[in-house]
Amino acid sequence: MKITDIRFTVIGESPVVRVLTDEGIDGFGAAERAKPYLRTHVLELLPALLGEDPTNVERCMTRIRHRGGFKPWGSAVSAVEIALWDIAGKAAGIPVYKLLGGKVRDRVRVYNGAVRKEMTSFTPEDYARDTRAQMASPEGFTIIKQGIAFHSQMKSSVPDFTLADQRTSPLPGYLTRGPLTEKGMKLLVECVAAMKDVLGDDVGLALDCGPGWTVPDAIRFARSVEEYNILWLEDLVAGDYTPSPAAHLFREITRATSTPIHTGEQIYLRQNFRELIETRAVSVVGPDPCDVGGIAELKWIAEYADLHGILMAPHGTGNGIVGLAALVHVCATLPDNYVAFEYTTGRPEWWYDIVSGLPDPIVRDGFIDVWDGPGLGIAFDVERSRQYLPEQDRYFFD
> Phi, psi (5° rounding) for residue 17?
-115, 140
pLDDT of the residue at 191: 98
Angstrom CA distances, 132 to 129, 194, 236, stand at 5, 11, 25
Residue 369's pLDDT band, with cuts at 50, 70 and 90, is very high
Residue 171's pLDDT band, with cuts at 50, 70 and 90, is low
- pLDDT value at 49 more than 80: yes
- pLDDT value at 76 more than 70: yes
pLDDT of the residue at 275: 98
CB under 8 Å to 291, separation ≥6 — which residues? 32, 71, 72, 74, 75, 78, 265, 266, 267, 268, 315
> How far is it, in rounded angstroms, from Cα 142 to Cα 135?
8
- pLDDT value at 168 more than 70: no
pLDDT of the residue at 173: 44
- Give percent above pLDDT 70 in the chain: 97
Domain boundaries of the chain, sorted by first residue: 3-94+380-393, 99-374
Query: How many C-beta atoms surround the C-beta of residue 309 within 10 A?
Result: 10
Residue that wins the pLDDT comparison between 172 and 90 = 90
pLDDT of the residue at 240: 86
Picking from 235, 247, 37, 255, the residue whose alpha carbon sits closest to that of residue 148 is 235
pLDDT of the residue at 174: 53
The per-residue pLDDT for range 98-147, each reduced to its tens digit, is 999 999 999 999 999 899 888 999 999 999 999 999 999 999 999 999 99
> Phi, psi (5° rounding) for residue 205?
-125, 125
CATH superfamily to which 3-94+380-393 belongs: Enolase-like, N-terminal domain (3.30.390.10)
For the entire predicted model, the pTM comes to 0.97
The per-residue pLDDT for range 259-296, each reduced to its tens digit, is 999 999 999 999 999 999 999 999 999 999 999 999 99
User: 364 forms bridges with which residues in the sheet?
Assistant: 367
CATH of 99-374, one of 3.50.30.10, 3.40.50.620, 3.30.70.1380, 3.20.20.120: 3.20.20.120
